[in-house]
Amino acid sequence: MTITDIHRVYFIGIGGIGMSALARYFKFIGKEVAGYDKTETPLTDDLSSHGISVHYEDNLALVPGHFLNAEETLVVYTPAVKNSHKEYQYFLKNHFIIKKRSEVLGLITKDSFCFAVAGTHGKTTTSSILAHLLKETGTPLTAFLGGISEDFNSNFLLEGTDYSVVEADEFDRSFLRLSPNVACITSMDADHLDIYGDAEELNKSFLEFVDRIKPGGKLFVRNGLPLEGITYGIEDDSDYCIRNIKVEHGAYIFDLGTPEKTYSGVKFNKPGRHNLLNGLVAFAMAIQAGSPPYRLAEALSTFKGVQRRFTYRVKNEDFVFIDDYAHHPTEIDAVFDAISEMHPNKKVLAVFQPHLYSRTRDFGDDFAKSLSRFPSVVLLEIYPAREEPISGIDSAWLMEKMTNSYKKIINKSELVSEIKSQNPEVLVMMGAGDIGLEIIKVKKELEYAR
């Protein structure tokens, strides 16, 4: 199948961040697009505003009739959709062409010069920086992002089709559908053990991904990972290296070393050493498109960020409110380190919503250790996403392991009153579930109170 063979595309799970980017792509190139999702969100509202039909009940009668032609409709589904889904079963039994999101990404990008960003953390920020750098230097690209770029106000960018930027997602081994020209691996921390079983199997999957890089292609790896490639790091002997870091007015100023030259006084506005690394590898990858390095260094200073990746919802002298997608112990550590560096000696309150029963169970001790670095933590109940509850695994189980001077479990309805009673100088809300929908409510209430 080629893209030209497709007349209509139907998405099961159209509201997902990756799925909605694909939906926007197909709509943009003139295909008819429709889909189902279980929940109405700002993302699905945005799709509807662009003429894409979206419904929220698993009911075949709600699928537009002309999408029921198996010869002209491609069905795309997310792995989060259960096998019992009625619409999915209909398409399966009636021999529609059904593909996972990752397969479709592979189909779209196979004829372009493909940049793929892999790793258990940092994919969305790195790919967003890469897309920003390439756009700023005039590269004709299409980008499919796992978050809303604040530079484009979108998770999708279409500036041309010669180059493509995609996230190579290790979940469900999706990245093994891609064949990139240039790839990076930001991290290989254990995750998705419900899929892989153990860290060794996850590492094997990364090695398989490396083998899928096209002949003559390049691999960039964070220094210290057990892989051969072009290395990048901070204050070390990497091929691409950041040195002499200073913090000025909430931004990093540093020297950026490449195998050919060092660029001094480079500026980057996103807090956190992890984000510095993301920016560095995006810079190194963008050079492979022929972009002038000095222009890329300039463009790093204008990157605005990605929604829910250390996003400042409020930032003033007496109160800072940070919103972050962190849902793994390593990510929570990175958020803590960034707050400590940018806002030292402040009274900090962390609100965290665990994501998935299996992840909470598998990394319970690590979550407790990371969360215990904050003096005060408020937990919401676990966001189940695709999972059924696991006996004995809940937020109370996690909290028992934590050693904070203040720790508490609350309902979402209690969030504002709890935050007000704590009166923090820095508030950070973290998680990958529906906590993101609470951010706007909390900000509005706190601004009203102040």
Considering the domain architecture, whether residues 157 and 280 belong to the same structural domain is answered as yes
122 is in an annotated binding site: yes
> What is the reported pLDDT for 187?
87
pLDDT on residue 26: 94
User: Residue 229, annotated ligand binder?
Assistant: no
Q: What is the pLDDT of residues 393-404, one digit of tens each?
A: 999 999 999 999
Whether the pLDDT of residue 193 is over 60: the answer is no
> Where does a domain end: 100, 120, 145?
100
Of 21-30, 32-41, 76-85, least confident by mean pLDDT is 76-85
Domain boundary among 100, 118, 151: 100
Same domain, 259 and 368: no
The answer, yes or no, to whether residue 113 has pLDDT greater than 90, is yes
The answer to whether 100 is a known ligand-binding residue is no
Q: 343 a known binding residue?
A: no
Residue 325 counted as domain residue: yes
Count of the separate structural domains present in the chain: 3
Taking only the tens place, the pLDDT of each residue in 36-62 is: 999 898 899 999 999 999 999 999 999
Residue 4 has pLDDT above 90, yes or no: no
Q: Are residues 239 and 382 in the same domain?
A: no
Buried-state track 403-435, b at ≥16 Cβ within 10 A, e below 16:
ebeebeebebeebbeebeebebebbbbbbbbeb
Q: Is residue 105 part of a domain?
A: no
Average per-residue pLDDT in the chain? Answer: 91
* Total-model pTM: 0.85
120 annotated ligand-binding residue: yes
Q: Do 246 and 115 sit in the same domain of this protein?
A: yes
Of the ranges 106-110, 281-285, 344-348, 434-438, which is most confident? 281-285
CATH code for position 118: 3.40.1190.10
Domain hosting 346: range is: 311-449
Residue 382 lies in a domain: yes
Residue 299's pLDDT is 97
What is the share, in percent, of the chain residues with pLDDT greater than 90? 74
pLDDT of 190 reads 59
| 226-238 confidence digits (pLDDT tens) | 999 999 999 999 9
Q: What pLDDT score was predicted for residue 151? A: 94
Q: Are residues 224 and 290 in the same domain?
A: yes
My answer on whether 187 and 287 are in the same domain is yes
Q: Write the CATH number for 389.
A: 3.90.190.20
Indicate if 161 and 280 belong to the same structural domain.
yes
pLDDT in tens, 121-156: 889 999 999 999 999 999 999 999 988 999 999 999
Residue 44 counted as an annotated binding residue: no
pLDDT higher than threshold 80 for residue 198: no
* Pair 157, 266 in one domain: yes
Is 275 a member of any domain? Answer: yes
Q: What is the pLDDT of residues 337-378, one digit of tens each?
A: 999 999 999 999 999 999 999 999 999 999 999 999 999 999
Residue that is last in its domain, among 82, 100, 118: 100
Asked if 287 and 332 sit in the same domain, the reply is no
Q: Within a domain: residue 272?
A: yes
- So what's the pLDDT on residue 232? 98
The 3-state secondary structure of the chain reads: CCHHHCCEEEEECCCCHHHHHHHHHHHHCCCEEEEECCCCCHHHHHHHHCCCEEECCCCHHHCCHHHHCCCCEEEEECCCCCCCCHHHHHHHHCCCEEEEHHHHHHHHHCCCEEEEEECCCCHHHHHHHHHHHHHHCCCCEEEEEEEEECCCCEEEEECCCCEEEEEECCHHHHHHHCCCCEEEECCCCCCCHHHHCCHHHHHHHHHHHHHCCCCCCEEEEECCCCCCCEEEEECCCCCEEEEEEEEECCEEEEEEECCCCEEEEEEECCCCHHHHHHHHHHHHHHHHHCCCHHHHHHHHCCCCCECCCCEEEEECCCCEEEEECCCCHHHHHHHHHHHHHHCCCCCEEEEECCECHHHHHHCHHHHHHHHCCCCEEEECCCECCCCCCCCCCCHHHHHHHCCCCEEEECCHHHHHHHHHHHCCCEEEEECCCCHHHHHHHHHHHHHHHC
Q: Are residues 444 and 344 in the same domain?
A: yes
Tens digit of each residue's pLDDT (9 = 90 or more) over 285-339: 999 999 999 999 999 999 999 998 999 999 988 899 999 999 999 999 999 999 9
Given a cut of 70, whether residue 99 has pLDDT beyond it is yes
Is 124 annotated to bind a ligand? Reply is yes
Q: 230-288 pLDDT, tens per residue?
A: 999 999 999 999 999 999 888 999 999 999 999 999 999 999 999 999 999 999 999 99
